[in-house]
A and B are shown apart, each in its own frame.
Chain A
């Protein structure tokens, strides 16, 4: 089933036409209304009329995170601030946040894209969505909320935390879907198990939407198995509305990117050159429908690739592969690039390991992976623990090509996450 069948299955030619029309419109608006873009375009002598095809986008300059920070808070607005009805921020690691403004139409379109995603993954009017993301400055909870409301879904705006109450709400309101961070989903899974609740019998869950932090394919499978539900990968970032930029359909093979709303490109992060479909590189997005704060060629720092093949679901919007890593999360040990998801993938596939873990960077050459042992698999045999420790070390070495020090911890030692988890602790003084 489709939310907007006509647009979701539009022919590739018509989609290109629509993209070009909207791209030229967007470029005209930023050229005349946003001094930052006007100056940038002038510098390289580009005028809106020079864009004659969607591919001409590669002539335009990039927008970086730094550009958004430099123009904080209202420097990138394309219409008067009075037209804005909402501002969201995305937390920077240091200093000021990035501020993203929305007009009434922007909110409505963001919600509309979420509605496509929810219907695409099987949600209907009679479903109940428990929204366990933080309601606030962060886009996740609110954008999902508006989209679900559009479909007519009953929303339980629970927010994160208070696990006992979450379970009560799930039971009493017969929640069929969760919107939750992956680390909290893992915690919830262990909590439910410890309380003797059988999610397939005692709860009504059918699906979950994970967001706000990266997670591995193994984690997805683990959550699907424990709760007996479908988990759909999705991609979003607050600079582009938040959630709902790209979403998996029922086939769960790559995420459809809503190309009538965004131009997606993959570039070589070092040279900035556009890469052909299928090649892995940094995702770059241009908004096509945004009034308040249009962004041209925004560099996401997320690594993925475009899947150009047609999807059997009938949607014509090209898919992107699950994010290989966010270049911000990547760290380097012994000169090797490592993404936290690689480590998570390995840990989640090993029996005897609980679901909480932490990566500690000690020096340029040394990292510690701290894992909690699974309480119910502890048999008192120290050799079994040594074997487990060796096995984790070896499996990690195979995956990341660096041999970490693995520490086995008592369950419950690491801080639990009822929201966003802090997985990497950097103790290096560089």
Chain B
């Protein structure tokens, strides 16, 4: 089964952090596919999906960032009204919290995914086995 991994970077609420991160990734020839930010007010975590996650992680650590690379649950979305609702209902039914989630679009809108952060991706997929969902 394919794995989708997301890079998380700790950020204090100081301006210029994203600029610094994206510069490191650009200089390293890494393509950013999606970005999202979760913030608590005082600090936040900036999240990226990139084409070469392992390389990106090493590069960021070498540049002094506090980094974590985690597998995420990626659920395919169909480009029609109500589809996100359909997925949300399935997740709720199976007891999966979508507090930390964002949408990731690939191939010029031809394909999009709902990215959900869960403690254990395999476990979540098992719970969702009977739902009509397609994963990355």
Contacts and interface: CB of A to CB of B under 8 A. Distances in A.
Interface of A: 373, 375, 378-383, 385-386, 389, 407-413
Interface string B90-133: 00000000011000000000000000010000000000000000
B45 A407 contact: no
Contacts of B12: 407-410, 413
B68 interface: yes
Contacts of B70: 379-380
B45 A373 contact: no
B38 interface: yes
A383 B45 CA distance: 10
Contacts of B39: 382
Given A380-B8, A380-B47, A373 B40 contact: no
Interface in B29-72: 38-40, 42-45, 47, 64-70
A201 to B, nearest CB: 25
Contacts of A412: 64
Contacts, number: 55
A408 B44 contact: no
Nearest to B41: A386
B66 A389 contact: no
Across chains A and B, which 5 residue pairs bring their CB atoms closest together, nearest first?
A380-B8, A380-B68, A382-B38, A382-B45, A386-B40
Given A380-B6, A389-B40, A413-B12, 11 more contacts: A375-B66, A378-B66, A379-B68, A380-B69, A381-B45, A381-B117, A382-B39, A382-B40, A382-B45, A382-B100, A408-B12
Contacts of B135: none
A357 to B, nearest CB: 15
B55 to A, nearest CB: 18
B100 A381 contact: yes
Contacts of B45: 380-382, 385
23 contacts: A373-B10, A375-B66, A378-B8, A378-B10, A379-B8, A379-B70, A380-B47, A380-B117, A381-B8, A381-B100, A382-B43, A382-B44, A382-B45, A382-B100, A385-B10, A385-B40, A385-B43, A407-B42, A407-B43, A408-B42, A410-B10, A410-B65, A410-B66
Contacts of A407: 12, 42-43
Contacts of A373: 10, 66
A412 B66 CA distance: 10
Binding site of B, secondary structure by majority: helix, strand, loop or mixed?
Answer: strand
A378 B99 contact: no
Most interface-central of A373, A408, A410 (chain B CB within 10 A): A410
Contacts of A375: 66
Interface residues of B, number: 24
Contact of A378 (B38, B67, B117): B67
Contact of A411 (B6, B7, B11, B66): B66
Contacts of B66: 373, 375, 378, 410-411
A415 to B, nearest CB: 15
Nearest to B64: A412
A389 B39 CA distance: 13
Contacts of A408: 12, 42-43
A365 B119 CA distance: 39
A66 to B, nearest CB: 43
A411 B11 CA distance: 11
Contacts of A379: 8, 68, 70
Contacts of B6: 380
A412 B65 CA distance: 10
Nearest to B17: A410
A358 to B, nearest CB: 14
Contacts of B44: 382
A179 to B, nearest CB: 32
Contacts of A378: 8, 10, 66-68
B7 to A, nearest CB: 8
B123 to A, nearest CB: 16
Nearest to A372: B66
Contacts of A386: 40
Contacts of B11: 410
A386 to B, nearest CB: 5
A47 B67 CA distance: 71
Contacts of A381: 8, 45, 100, 117
Q: Which of A379, A380, A382, A413 has the most C-beta atoms of chain B within 10 angstroms of its own C-beta?
A: A380
A374 to B, nearest CB: 9
Contacts of B38: 382
B50 to A, nearest CB: 14
B67 to A, nearest CB: 7
A411 B68 CA distance: 14
A381 B65 CA distance: 15
